[in-house]
Structure 1
């Protein structure tokens, strides 16, 4: 499973799991009396953009969520981004005389995703 599918499935799983909270409430009575046991509805591995977005959505839906992160802070792979961002017609491009269009940007995004990205969402991202 590639990372994109993993994150997509994680978000969908988190939302679906949050919908099962009634079952979790029923299991509450069977909780261990061990003081060292912590129970959560959802355990999220990684505090990158996908992990934190999933955690926020699940918590908003009423789930008890914990996020586990191996790094020293909540960065995920974003820490390696180096301040870059995807956009078209930026002031940097204009300053450097680079001509770009929304259509070219859209086509680049689709090519990078190997045409697996959602065309409607990718178009909206490129335009906005």
Structure 2
């Protein structure tokens, strides 16, 4: 059984590689369930897929220095930007697919953490439009 350990995930927002700041990256996609059960279904629930949606969850190690993470993310607040994520920062291939699309930057946590903690910023952005998977 093939196994995988994430060691060098690639994460980009708005064309900027943020991998050096990213501690955790998750892209989830889902489809609404639409109940189309009728009396003709003979007691079995019938479902069809409805609207698709996704979410890009990221945990960053914060950096507020000039031209670092905070100065990159702050101007994006309230905008829809492109994203790209890959399991590895190597070239896109059949064994390293790229997932791309757009997300709404609907929030930013410039300061997050407790005394003695690393400065982090956890965010979760909804996708806007289609998410594509590419292998070349």
User: Which of the pair has the greater relative contact order for Cα pairs under 8 Å at 6+ separation?
Assistant: 2
Higher helix share goes to which structure? 1
Whether TM-score is above 0.5 comes out as: no
Taking structure 1 as the reference length, the TM-score comes to: 0.20
Higher strand share goes to which structure? 2
**Largest Rg, 1 or 2:** 1
